[in-house]
Chain A
Amino acid sequence: MLDKMMEFSEFVTKFHFDGHPIGTAPHEVIFRQNKSCVRYFEPVERKAQPLFVSMPLINKWAVFDLLPNKSVVKALVDAGIPVYLLDWGTPKDEDAAVGMEELCDSVLHRALDRSRRHARQRWDTDVFDALGYCVGGTVLAAYCGLYPDSFRRVALLAAPIDFRHAGRLGTWADPETFPVDRIIDNFGNFPAELMGTSFVWLKPSTTPAKWKGLWERFEDPKFRETWSAVEAWNSDNIDFWGEAYRSYIKNCYFANSFFADGWPIGARKADLRKVQSPLHVFAADHDHICPPDAAFGAKDVWGGAVECTLLKGGHVGICLSSRLTDALTKWALAPEA
């Protein structure tokens, strides 16, 4: 017992949140724009349509590639799916003016265009399926509302669409109490520290539970490795593009625009009712960032057919689970209905 305590204390003292290598699956960057880029993961043999992945804008993309044996991208690539992953990058002070219009019409649109061109040359196809995770999924859905014929099929993973069911984040993001204008006007981008702190306070019991979990399974090197990878990623929040965040909070959390006449982006409205591509919604039963009802709400507003799957896990933990990779692979490999 004393030995374990000594070892535990040494591990905790020496642990560096940024010292764990994550995002190591082999890939190539095929396009860059400002801080964003498209990371291409190539399969040995193509067995499905290429998949365009929109990652969250609040964390680094490596949540899909934390460890070689717990990597969503690696599982997809091993199944024969070419993956084009849009890494939104880390906005700096000069990007505070970047709004949803620039993110959708310029960054995402061009990233998809270059991915299509690459796939046409490499795989002789430019028909894409799409997957969006967390807020990256919400932005992907908005993009589909603006460009309804962009994808053959779409999957959203833990992506809030119906913000009436946004849980505690929805309670906090109240126009009366949440000073989003004041924050963006003075900080520029939404600060990573504030984002990180709000996630910690979203469920305060998770912090002691995290350390308790480590103590209980400390002897298991695999668990320690996974714990370290998750912590390395989790402690590395990034700023949220300023004007895009203002629009996201006002139109999604305050106004639930997808359920009104669409999210106003520039002069247009992202109306999900226009999208006819089939949609598959994946949600996690213990997700307190995007509760299942917030994700499944898409079925009431999406123009095409919608299927919903509830998986066991939390918002981040789900990315480490083979249940997710199995479900995603099955979805991606399924022939078009």
Chain B
Amino acid sequence: MSETPDFMKMSQQIYDQWEKGMSAWWDQVLENPAFLSALGENVANQSRMRGAYAKAVDENLSKMHLPTRGDLVRVARIATLLEEKVLQVEDHLLNIQDTLSRIEKEAITARIDAAETRIELRERLAQLEARLEGLEGGAAPRRTSRAKKEA
């Protein structure tokens, strides 16, 4: 008694064979210079037709005193270019903001540095005065710079 044929398996094999053959055939066609040349010519002709059609529609609309596609495209392009200008202004403002932030940061840092230097100097001066007083000992009461100022 013969086995029932597995149709799924058979159809799979048929498909695989078909795919293999088709791929090989298309590979040849799609790499063929004559085919590519004809295809290129076809696309070029379609492009020319599309251009001619667009021109004809524009001319007709223009004759009817209606805005053409070209007009709308020009207006939209101008809007895009205006947006570019606005963004350039935004670029400048952001750069100015960056510069101002940097200057502000530098100014604050400079003020902090100056204050720290003043404190350091004051401490150093106090140390020197104390040292001087120590050196002079009790020989003669020394007038400190502050006392001199007060005098």
Interface, chain A (partner B; CB < 8 A): 33-34, 92-97, 106, 110, 113, 117, 168, 171-172, 174, 176-179, 182-183, 185-188, 194, 201, 204-205, 208-209, 212
Binary interface profile of B, 13-50, with partner A (CB < 8 Å = 1, else 0)?
00100010011001000110100110111011001101
The answer to whether B73 has its CB under 8 Å from any CB of chain A is yes
Besides A95-B80, A205-B22, 19 other A-B contacts (C-beta < 8 A): A34-B80, A34-B83, A93-B69, A94-B73, A94-B76, A94-B77, A96-B73, A97-B77, A110-B87, A171-B36, A182-B47, A183-B47, A185-B47, A186-B50, A187-B51, A188-B73, A205-B23, A205-B26, A209-B19
Q: Could you say which of A94, A96, A174, A212 contacts B36, with CB atoms under 8 Å apart?
A: A174
Interface residues on B, range: 20 to 34
B residues less than 8 Å from A194 (CB atoms):
43
- The distance in angstroms between the C-alpha atoms of A307 and B44, with both chains bound, is 41
Interface, chain B (partner A; CB < 8 A): 15, 19, 22-23, 26, 30-31, 33, 36-37, 39-41, 43-44, 47-48, 50-51, 54, 69, 72-74, 76-77, 79-80, 83-84, 87, 91, 94
Contacting pair B83 A33 (CB below 8 A): yes
- The distance in angstroms between the C-alpha atoms of A299 and B68, with both chains bound, is 49
Q: Could you say which of B22, B73, B84, B87 contacts A93, with CB atoms under 8 Å apart?
A: B73
- List 12 A-B pairs, Cβ < 8 Å: A33-B84, A33-B87, A94-B77, A95-B80, A113-B94, A178-B43, A179-B44, A185-B51, A204-B26, A205-B22, A205-B23, A212-B15
Looking at the assembled complex, report how far the CB atom of A175 sits from the nearest CB atom of chain B, in whole angstroms.
10
Q: Could you say which of A95, A113, A177, A188 contacts B40, with CB atoms under 8 Å apart?
A: A177
Contacting pair A179 B23 (CB below 8 A): no
The dominant DSSP class at the A interface is helix
- The distance in angstroms between the C-alpha atoms of A113 and B88, with both chains bound, is 12
Contacting pair B80 A187 (CB below 8 A): no
Q: Could you say which of B26, B33, B47, B69 contacts A177, with CB atoms under 8 Å apart?
A: B33
Contacting pair B30 A177 (CB below 8 A): no
A179-B43, A186-B48 as given contacts; A117 in contact with B73, CB under 8 Å: no
Contacting pair B83 A171 (CB below 8 A): no
Looking at the assembled complex, report how far the CB atom of B53 sits from the nearest CB atom of chain A, in whole angstroms.
9
- The distance in angstroms between the C-alpha atoms of A188 and B74, with both chains bound, is 13
B residues less than 8 Å from A179 (CB atoms):
40-41, 43-44, 47
B residues less than 8 Å from A183 (CB atoms):
43-44, 47
Contacting pair B48 A182 (CB below 8 A): yes
CB-based nearest B residue for A201: B30
B residues less than 8 Å from A201 (CB atoms):
30
Looking at the assembled complex, report how far the CB atom of A252 sits from the nearest CB atom of chain B, in whole angstroms.
18
- The distance in angstroms between the C-alpha atoms of A212 and B11, with both chains bound, is 11
Looking at the assembled complex, report how far the CB atom of B89 sits from the nearest CB atom of chain A, in whole angstroms.
12
Contacting pair B80 A94 (CB below 8 A): yes
Q: Could you say which of A171, A172, A174, A204 contacts B23, with CB atoms under 8 Å apart?
A: A204
CB-based nearest A residue for B42: A179
